[in-house]
């Protein structure tokens, strides 16, 4: 298994992975999310590959103040093998090299399995309210 930067040929496999992992929602078009990411810090869009198959992904960003992690996904048959941890560690390393002092993630509060995964990697819940506002609608369904 190796971790590398996303390549255009990975597009369909990554979208399929996100769908398999339940990361897609009607208000975020995954294809548009990929195209947007490729315009800004594309080197922070990582995939885990085994035998030329995409088995994991992580999309990161750094705005000069904080880093962010999105679309961490691991194919169900590869979970528990350290793939997700390796993706988070590699993205963290890259962000730290950029001078990023803190990495933020957003997890649905009901997703206790994933919260436990992140806690095992040293993440803690911050006592903040996460707020958002859509600037562009991707609603397709």
* Alpha carbon of residue 141 to chain centroid: 23
Task: For the chain, report the end-to-end CA distance as a whole number of angstroms.
Answer: 35
Q: What is the pLDDT of residue 135?
A: 86
Chain mean pLDDT for the chain: 93
Q: What is the pLDDT of residue 28?
A: 80
Domain spans, the chain: 2-120
**CA 34 to CA 138: how far, in whole Å?**
13
Inform me whether the pLDDT recorded for 139 exceeds 80. Answer: no
In the structure, what pLDDT confidence band is assigned to residue 134 with cuts at 50, 70 and 90?
A: confident
Q: What is the pTM of this model?
A: 0.89
Q: What is the pLDDT of residue 140?
A: 59
Q: What is the pLDDT of residue 19?
A: 94
What residues pair up with 56 in beta bridges, in sequence order?
Answer: 48, 74
- For 22-42, how does the pLDDT look when each residue is reduced to its tens digit (9 = 90+)? 888 878 889 999 999 999 999
- For 81-109, how does the pLDDT look when each residue is reduced to its tens digit (9 = 90+)? 999 999 999 999 999 999 999 999 988 77
For 111, residues 6+ apart whose C-beta sits below 8 A from its C-beta are none
Inform me whether the pLDDT recorded for 9 exceeds 60. Answer: yes
CATH superfamily membership of 2-120: Gcn5-related N-acetyltransferase (GNAT) (3.40.630.30)
């Amino acid at each position: 298994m190796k971790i590398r930067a996303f390549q255009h040929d990975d597009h369909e496999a990554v979208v399929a992975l996100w769908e398999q992992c339940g990361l897609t929602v009607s208000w975020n078009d995954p294809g548009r999310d990929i195209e947007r990411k490729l315009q800004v810090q594309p080197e922070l869009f990582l995939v885990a590959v085994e035998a030329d198959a995409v088995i994991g992904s992580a999309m990161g960003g750094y705005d000069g103040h904080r880093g962010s992690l999105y679309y961490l996904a691991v194919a169900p048959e590869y979970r528990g093998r350290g793939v997700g941890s390796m993706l988070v560690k590699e993205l963290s390393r890259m962000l730290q090299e950029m001078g990023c002092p803190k990495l933020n993630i957003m997890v649905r509060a009901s997703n206790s399995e994933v919260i436990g995964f992140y806690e095992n990697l040293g993440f803690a819940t911050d006592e903040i309210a996460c707020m958002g506002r859509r600037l562009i609608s991707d609603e397709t369904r």
